Chains A and B, each alone.
Chain A
Amino acid sequence: MSSHGLSASEIARKVRAREFSVTEIVIDSLERIGSLDGTLNAMITIERDRALERAAKLDSALASGEGPGPMTGVPVIVKDNMCTRGIPTTCASRILSDWKPPYNAAVVEDLEKAGAVILGKSNMDEFAMGSSTEHSAYGPCRNPWDTTRVPGGSSGGSAAAVAAGYVPIALGSDTGGSIRQPASLCGIYGLKPTYGLISRYGLIAFASSLDQIGPFARTVEDLALSLNVLARPDRKDSTCSSSERPDYLDFLKVGSLSGKKVGIVREFRDYDLHEDISRGVEKVLRILQNAGAVIEEVSLPVTMTSGLGAYYIIAPAEASSNLARYDGVRYGLSEEAEDLLSLYLKTRKAGFGTEVKRRILTGTYVLSSGYYDAYYLTAQKVRQIITREFTEAFSRVHTLIMPTSPSPAFRIGELVDDPIHMYMMDVFTLPVNLAGLPGLSVNGGYTSEGLPVGVQMVGPRWGEGEILSMAGVLERELGPARIAPGGLADEN
């Protein structure tokens, strides 16, 4: 019997009941990766030996009667921008291709403490900049529903890994949609928590005020389990909330949504949405309504007209500063050079890809003296207005429903030379980062070509519980996320 396709919660239960050993689970996962990843390229590093060694340790601990953790035996994959001690952490960039961190990210510590087994590091857009996982020094990742298409990005590797059944849970990071958009394109759940819910310590920064780590999973229960493990105060991250977190599994006990108000955003009508995506949104609204929720229209005028512009000023500005440390002096790529300036120029020229360079240039420009007020300061003001618009909306409704992405998975290479069109992929997700709110992408069905369609659920600050409750109600109707064939013809 194979453990393939089990959820994390099921694995943890079966390991606890000794139906499976951790080693069996890990071998099943590694086999799945081995058979698919040649095609999908979802992984940058696979830590086979390390994972088996750890599985054996966990097995002997269980045998000696040690109490299991909430994730004992669960194989997980971590996006390659989260530091893992002694394991390469590349950000899919040449500039960090040889870098092994001397320390673990807070989330890595938490996963291991909970008993999870990290199998490796997933592919991504370089430094998390992109919406397709094509901008990777390790080659593009492919969508497990259609391998000629992108899995979305920037956490495309983690999304593809969960969708293709490598593992039940993978971690991504979301700065403007980098968890929700690939979750949508891969037909699974992807949750970006409230800014400050999960420690960013050890997450290699793209845009510090927007970055947030979150889980991909195929069941709502696994999302809640992940938050229980990852969401905690952390003194090493001053932007991480010091408040106690609830037990997120408690929110899944809700059966009825009576008394709940769900908002739909009026301005979405102005967008040229893919027909199947509109249909997905309608379907989700109908289910919520049937469960007792009341639908109300809300308006986010500034958010929908100016969010994208503000985001593409603030995110590159912070990135230009965050990525300045890769100078060839201390770690990572260092090109031979005659003097200091040419060391900087040669290293950064060889080390960064086109998209990263584009954003560093943009960011440097908008922070330059003489332009700061017109760009950065204005963008910050817009950000405040957006936050206010959301606050106003959430004074009237409990959650908002909107599309995750304007289109389903596009073809590899289709948008790679059209950055503005590519940036538009995040138009519905990035305002949520600007306002620091939680957002979840759930599957809302499939297109006629069989491509998943995502629907986004947004909550107020610290409203993860509210979102999980509603997602739980949806899941009861729609079932858990399906496992994708991953390029294997005999499945599905």
Chain B
Amino acid sequence: MKTEFFPVIGLEIHVQLNTLSKLFCPCSTAYIGTVPNTNICPVCLGLPGTLPVLNGKVVEYSVITALALNCRINRATRFHRKNYFYPDLPKAYQISQYDLPVGEDGYIYIRGEGGDMKRIGIIRLHLEEDAGKLVHSAADGRLAGASASYVDYNRAGVPLAEIVSAPDLSSPSEAKEYVSLLRQLVRYLGVSDGDMEKGSMRVDANISVKCSDGRWGDRSEIKNMNSLRALERALSFEIKRQTAILEEGGTVLQETRHWNDSEGRTISSRSKEEAHDYRYFPEPDLPPLFLPEGFVEEMEQTLPEMPWVRKSRFIRDYSLSETDVAVITESPDLADLFERCVREGASSERSANWIRTEVLRVVNERKTSVGDLPLSSHVLAQLLSMIDSGKLSNTAAKEVFDCIIETGAGVEEALKVCNLQSGGISGSQLVEIIRDILEKNSSVVETIRSGEDGNGKKSKFLQGLVMRETRGQADPEEVRMLLQELIES
């Protein structure tokens, strides 16, 4: 019988929490794009004599996230010191949580490999502080060949929630599904922007391969996967690598491996022999943290509708397709925009359609977020209602939409700017335009009259010309009737 191989994957995800200030000092968490070593103070620089002061908002964010992951909340928790030397770590220890994390024993459901919902265990969610960043001066930005290294401490002390999953994931696509869901979740909760490329969500994977003959290889820890695609590729590579070793009867070493995206492979970086002894001990500068009576319940009250709940509600209440709903519920901003449009009178189908296509198009073109567009749900709903009631064609509405995005104008104003009128072009005004077009295309008219437009292509061509001339403000049905009438007369 042929041996079968089953990947066993667990993920450790660091989520940067977007509180206003850092975990233990008043410095801002918005360090991206700041001049190196300007977003710092004596505390996050770990200057002698300084002391950490816990940011209460971070505790709220972490409890909210742990609750959303169905964790048990530890009302009594505390911080530990994780000791190791590295230039990006100002105090030479990281303040982290060890034996009493904020949350433990949670779970989340993902769409599993077979299509069924699959429960993924959450072992723990704990708080810790981020480190600074090393900048190497070699041309390729890497350590090898660098002549000097610099440290930027702007990121030091930014709050992180580390979310450790159980080894319940059994394929790269499940891992991707899980990370996407977590990303969506933190965005819904408003606790992080969950951006893997910017490093506000960092994923490390523990992966091993189990054989049907009972053998089980040691796990390797994969780091440096900076996108969902990198995660999928790295895990696929690692499964192949470990499987090949086991197939040949070899042993997989327990080690840390770095994903090299350009080479498409993982590279061993630290063997077990060099494993750190972090000498954890309780942080004496911070008293144990006791969440006050009623605090957890209060946080529970602030939980928004979970993305998966919202998704099934949209499918049920708005009779939309699952694909449509998946797109519009991806971010809470999109989903909110959709619901407000519908509430203000636009049809759900058209709202969903427009958000999927037009709104996301401009978001992508402008590399911005929905919230930053100069577009209120009120304006969008007004525009979509005009299409719904036939006052504006879809094509014309797109032009108006672009104008709104461009200028931030309201619908009425944008209509004027685009030289369009609501209510459309019809009757004698439309007859004028059609006559004009027929005159300019007399040969086509002749062809139709002679009965040689069997498949109706020529008529459609003329119809298109009219629609273009009227910039979509005419009712297509009226155009078709008038064309027929005028050609035949």
Select which of B47, B93, B277, B281 is within 8 A of A324 by beta carbon.
B93
On chain A, the residues within 8 Å of B286 by CB distance are 238-239
B345 within 8 A of A: no
State which of B47, B51, B52, B92 has its C-beta within 8 Å of the C-beta of A102: B47
**Does any Cβ of A come within 8 Å of B81's Cβ?**
yes
User: Which among A99, A237, A317, A321 is the interface contact of B48 at CB below 8 angstroms?
Assistant: A99
Interface string of A336-355 (1 = CB under 8 A from B): 00001000100000000000
Give CA–CA (A239, B282) in the complex, Å.
14
Most buried by A among B50, B52, B54, B279: B279
Residues in A whose Cβ lies below 8 Å from that of B151 = 329-330
Give the complex CA separation of A330 and B151 in angstroms.
9
Residue pair A329, B87 in contact (C-beta under 8 Å): yes
A205-B279 in contact given A238-B285, A324-B85, A329-B87 (Cβ < 8 Å): no
CB proximity to A under 8 Å, residues B423-451: none
Closest to B92 in A: A324
A321-B287 CB under 8 A given contacts A101-B48, A236-B53, A330-B45: no
Across the interface, B49 reaches (CB within 8 A) one of A202, A324, A340, namely A202
Do the beta carbons of B51 and A201 come within 8 Å of each other? yes
Question: Known: A238-B285, A330-B90. Is A83-B48 also a contact (CB below 8 A)?
Answer: yes
* Inter-chain contacts of A327 with B (CB < 8 A): 85, 87, 92
State the Cβ distance, A122 to closest chain B Cβ, in Å: 16
Given A321-B93, A329-B87, A101 contacting B285 (CB threshold 8 A):
no
Is A239 within 8 A of B45, CB to CB? Answer: no
> Are A340 and B277 in contact (CB-based, < 8 A)?
no
Find the B residue at minimum CB distance from A344: B85
A96-B48, A321-B81, A324-B83 given as contacts; is B92 within 8 A of A238 (CB)? no
Contact B53 A102 (CB under 8 A): no
Q: Are B42 and A103 in contact (CB under 8 A)?
A: yes
CB atoms of A321 and B281 under 8 A apart: yes
CA distance A331 to B279 in the complex (A): 24
How does the 8 Å CB contact mask read for B22-61 relative to A, with 1 for contact and 0 for none?
A: 0000000000000000000010011111111110000000
Residues on the A chain within 8 Å of B83, using CB:
320-321, 324, 367
Chain B residues in 8 Å Cβ range of A209: 284
Which residue of A238, A318, A325, A372 is within 8 Å of B52 (Cβ)? Answer: A238
Number of interface residues of A (CB under 8 A): 43
- Determine if A3 is an interface residue (Cβ-Cβ < 8 Å): no
Q: How far is the CA of A96 from the CA of B49 in the complex (A)?
A: 12
Is B311 an interface residue when CB atoms closer than 8 A count as contact? no
The residue from A203, A239, A317, A325 contacting B287, defined by CB atoms under 8 A apart: A239
Kindly state whether residue A395 has any CB partner on chain B within 8 Å.
Answer: no
A82, A105, A203, A330 — which one has the most chain B CB atoms within 10 A of its CB? A330
B54 CB contacts on chain A under 8 angstroms = 238
- Residues in B with CB closer than 8 Å to A318 are 281, 284
In this complex, the member of A96, A200, A202, A235 whose beta carbon has the largest number of chain B beta carbons within 10 angstroms is A202
Complex Cα distance A376/B92, Å?
A: 20
Q: Give Cα distance in the complex from A408 to B91, angstroms.
A: 39
Given known A-B contacts A324-B85, A330-B90, A344-B85, A82 and B277 have beta carbons under 8 A apart = no
Contacts of B315-367 to chain A: CB distance below 8 A: none
**B48 surroundings in chain A (CB, below 8 A):** 83, 89, 91, 96, 99, 101, 204-205, 325
- Complex CA distance for A145 and B92, rounded to whole angstroms: 42
Q: State the CA gap A201–B47 with chains docked (Å).
A: 11
Please classify how large the interface on chain B is, using the bins under 10, 10 to 19, 20 to 34, 35 or more. Answer: 20 to 34
User: From residue B326, how far is it (CB to closest CB) to chain A in Å?
Assistant: 45
* CB <8 Å contact, A205 and B49: yes
B286 to A, closest residue via Cβ = A238
Chain B residues contacting A317 (CB-CB under 8 Å) are: 281
Q: Report A290-335 residues with CB < 8 Å from chain B CB.
A: 317-318, 320-321, 324-325, 327, 329-331
The verdict on A492 contacting chain B, using a C-beta distance below 8 Å, is no
A108 CB to nearest B CB, Å: 10
Chain B CB within 8 A of A369 CB: yes
Cβ B49 vs Cβ A203 within 8 A = yes
Structural contact, A331 and B284, CB atoms closer than 8 A? no
Q: How far is the CA of A367 from the CA of B284 in the complex (A)?
A: 14
Query: From residue 62 to 83 of chain A, which have CB atoms closer than 8 A to chain B?
Result: 81-83
Q: Which of A101, A236, A340, A367 contacts B51 (CB 8 A)?
A: A236
What distance in Å separates the Cβ of A234 from its nearest Cβ neighbour in chain B?
A: 9
- Residue A368 lies at the interface, judged by CB distance under 8 Å to chain B: yes
B296, chain A: closest CB distance, angstroms: 22
Q: Point out the residues of chain A lying under 8 angstroms from B85, CB to CB.
A: 324, 327, 344
Contact with B along A194-238 (1 / 0, CB 8 A): 000000111111011100000000000000000000000001111
Q: Per-residue CB proximity of A81-122 to B under 8 Å, as 1/0?
A: 111000001010000100101110100000000000000000
Instruction: Determine the distance from Cα of A376 to Cα of B277 in the docked complex, in whole angstroms.
Output: 15
Q: Please report the C-alpha to C-alpha distance between residue A358 and residue B14 in the assembled complex, in whole angstroms.
A: 37
Which single member of B46, B277, B281 contacts A325 (CB below 8 Å)? B46
For A101, the chain B residues whose CB sits under 8 A away are: 42, 47-49
A148 in contact (CB, < 8 A) = no
**What mask results when residues 126 to 151 of chain B are scored 1 for a CB within 8 Å of chain A, else 0?**
00000000000000000000000001
CA distance A369 to B276 in the complex (A): 10
Q: How far is the CA of A102 from the CA of B91 in the complex (A)?
A: 17
Docked pose: A318 CA to B83 CA in angstroms: 11
Whether, in the assembled complex, A362 has its beta carbon less than 8 Å from a beta carbon of chain B, the answer is: no
Contacts of A324 in B (CB 8 A): 83, 85, 91-93
A89 to B48, CA, bound (A): 10
Please, which residues of chain A bring their CB within 8 A of the CB of B284?
207-209, 239, 318
CA distance A91 to B151 in the complex (A): 26
The smallest C-beta distance from B301 to any residue of chain A, in angstroms, reads 28
Contacts of B285 in A (CB 8 A): 205, 208, 238-239
A329 to B48, CA, bound (A): 13
Binary contact track A351-385/B, C-beta < 8 Å → 1, others 0: 00000000000001001110010001000000000
Beta-carbon nearest neighbor of A235 in chain B: B53
Chain A residues within 8 Å of B287, by CB: 238-239
A371: min CB distance to chain B, Å: 10
Q: Is B91 in contact with A105, judged by CB distance below 8 angstroms?
A: no
Kindly list 9 other residue pairs between chains A and B, CB separation below 8 angstroms, not including A96-B48, A208-B285, A330-B151. Answer: A83-B48, A89-B49, A203-B49, A207-B284, A238-B51, A239-B285, A321-B93, A324-B91, A324-B92
State the 8 A-B residue pairs at the shortest beta-carbon distance, nearest first: A324-B92, A209-B284, A367-B279, A208-B284, A204-B48, A202-B49, A83-B49, A204-B49
Q: Could you jot down 6 A-B contacts, CB within 8 Å?
A: A238-B54, A238-B287, A325-B48, A325-B92, A331-B47, A368-B279
Could you tell me which B residues sit within 8 Å of A by CB distance?
42, 45-54, 81, 83, 85, 87, 90-93, 151, 277, 279-281, 284-287
A binding-site residues for B, Cβ under 8 Å: 81-83, 89, 91, 96, 99, 101-103, 105, 200-205, 207-209, 235-239, 317-318, 320-321, 324-325, 327, 329-331, 340, 344, 364, 367-369, 372, 376
